[in-house]
Amino acid sequence: MLSHKLLLKAGYISQLGAGIFSFTPMGWRVINNIKKIIDEEMSKIDCYEANLPVIQPAKIWEESGRIDSFIPPLANFKDRRDKKMIIAPTHEEAVIDLAKDYLRSFRDLPFSIYHIQTKFRDETRPRGGLLRVREFEMKDAYSFHQDENSLDETFEKFSEAYFNIFGRCGLDVVKVAADSGAIGGKISSEFVSISGGGEDTILMCDPCSYSANEEKAEFVRFKKEPLNSQNIEEVETIGIKSIDELSEYFNLSKENFLKTMVYINHEKPIFVTLSGDLEVNETKLRNYLGGEPRLASDEELEKLNLSIGYLSPVNSRVETLLDISVDVNSDYIAGANIDNYHLKGVVPNKDFTNIIDIVDIATARENDLTPYCNENCINKGLKKFKGIEVGHIFKLGSAYSSTMGLNFLDSNGKLVNVEMGCYGIGVGRLLAAIVEANSNEDELIFNKEVAPFEVYLASLNTDKDEVIDNSEKIYKDLCGANFSVLYDNRNESPGVKFNDFDLSGIPFRVVVSSRSLSNNQVEVKNKYTGNSELIDKNELLNHLKNI
> What number is the average pLDDT over the span 158-164?
97
Q: What is the model's pLDDT at position 323?
A: 95
Of 145-154, 289-298, 474-483, the one with minimum mean pLDDT is 289-298
Q: Is the pLDDT of residue 510 over 70?
A: yes
Segment 83-107 shows an average pLDDT of: 96
Alpha helices in 119-197 (DSSP H): 148-168
Where are the alpha helices (H) located in 363-464, listed in sequence order? Answer: 401-404, 427-438
Average predicted confidence (pLDDT) for the chain: 92
Looking at residue 547, its pLDDT comes to: 83
pLDDT given for residue 120 in this prediction: 96
Calculate the CA 85 to chain-centre distance: 27
pLDDT bracket for residue 317 (50, 70, 90):
confident
DSSP string, 489-527: --S--HHHHHHHHHHHB-SEEEEE-HHHHTTTEEEEEET
Provide the pLDDT confidence category of residue 182 given band limits of 50, 70 and 90: low
pLDDT at residue 103, as a whole number: 95
Q: What type of residue is 108?
A: D
pLDDT at 125: 86
Give whole-number Cα distances, 12 to 24, 170, 430, in Å. 5, 19, 14
Mean pLDDT, range 55-61, rounded to an integer: 96
Q: Distance between CA atoms of 351 and 258, rounded to whole angstroms? A: 13
The pLDDT, as a whole number, for residue 518 is 87
CA distance 522 to 16: 41
List Cβ neighbours of 287 (8 Å cut-off, separation of 6 or more). Answer: 179
Please tell me the pTM assigned to this model.
Answer: 0.88
Average pLDDT in the 83-89 region? Answer: 96
pLDDT at 357 over 70: yes
Domains of the chain, earliest start first:
2-49+88-218+384-438 (3.30.930.10), 233-359 (3.90.960.10), 455-546 (3.40.50.800)
> Given this model, what pLDDT does residue 177 score?
85
Nearest to 462 by CA among 506, 493, 486, 495: 493
CA 68, CA 72: separation in Å to the nearest integer?
A: 10
Q: What is the pLDDT of residues 448-503, one digit of tens each?
A: 999 999 999 999 987 788 889 999 999 999 999 999 999 999 988 999 999 999 99
Q: How confident is the model at residue 184 (pLDDT cuts 50, 70, 90)?
A: low
CA–CA separation, 437 and 388 (whole Å): 10
- pLDDT band at residue 381 under the 50/70/90 scheme: confident
Q: According to the model, what pLDDT value does residue 185 have?
A: 67
Looking at the predicted structure, is the pLDDT value of residue 153 above 90? yes
Taking only the tens place, the pLDDT of each residue in 389-398 is: 999 999 999 9
Identify whether the C-beta of residue 533 lies closer than 8 Å to the C-beta of residue 472: no
Residue 378 reports pLDDT greater than 80: no
Give the pLDDT of residue 230. 78
